Amino acid sequence: MSYSDLSFRALSVLHKSRYLFNKHGFHNVGVDRIVREAEVPKASFYNYFHSKERLIEMCLHFQKDVLKEQVRSIIYIQKDLILREKLKKIFFLHTNLDGYYHLLFRAIFEIEKLYPAAYQVVVQYRHWLTTEVYKLLLTVKKDTTKSDSDMFLFTLDGAIIQLLDETRGDTRELLFAYILKGIFLKD
């Protein structure tokens, strides 16, 4: 189901759910809490989404679609940016805890076994992202390997984990410099 096909109420439930899942996690937010906070009857919720799994899948699709548009914009539309600036924008877009990737990142750890169809949305996005980063790297560095784009993604994930630890500071600049050094100065 396309987002444009959803009613205003269904969209408000979708957005409220995204917020709740992002803030509290998938396991800590049930249908009862969603319908209470979205102020819709439970019957309407099931009419719109049929199940919590389907709602989670739609939330992740929404996040993924927005992220894809943002990444495409950075890579293909913002022509005035050099490679380093594009990679940095992509890196910081994904490591923003209030951004669209945080929910996808959270899903990696919380939904694989319980909601496998929704989990595949995350897997597909991560594969797409590494492919886009790989193609971007190829524009400047002809001997780029898929491992370089994988390392970019894993460093990005590490940055998020560090940001979630309140005892650590924001080390994203340092980690970004590390990944650039790893990609461009490796043997």
Domain boundaries, the chain: 52-184
Which among 184, 185, 187 is positioned nearest to 87, based on CA atoms?
Answer: 184
Question: Would you call 68 exposed, middle or buried from its count of C-beta atoms within 10 A (0-12, 13-18, 19+)?
Answer: middle
CA dist 30 and 85 (Å) reads: 40
pTM metric for this prediction = 0.91
Burial annotation 150-168 (CB, 10 A radius, 16+ → b, else e): ebbbebbbebbebbeeeee
The answer to whether 16 and 78 are in contact (CB under 8 A) is: no
Q: Which residues contact 185 (CB under 8 A, 6 or more apart)?
A: none
Q: What is the CATH number of domain 52-184?
A: 1.10.357
The answer to whether 34 and 14 are in contact (CB under 8 A) is: no
Identity of the amino acid at 183 = I
Residues in the chain, pLDDT under 70: 1-4, 185-187
Give the pLDDT confidence score for residue 180 in this predicted structure.
Answer: 86
Give the pLDDT confidence score for residue 187 in this predicted structure.
Answer: 42
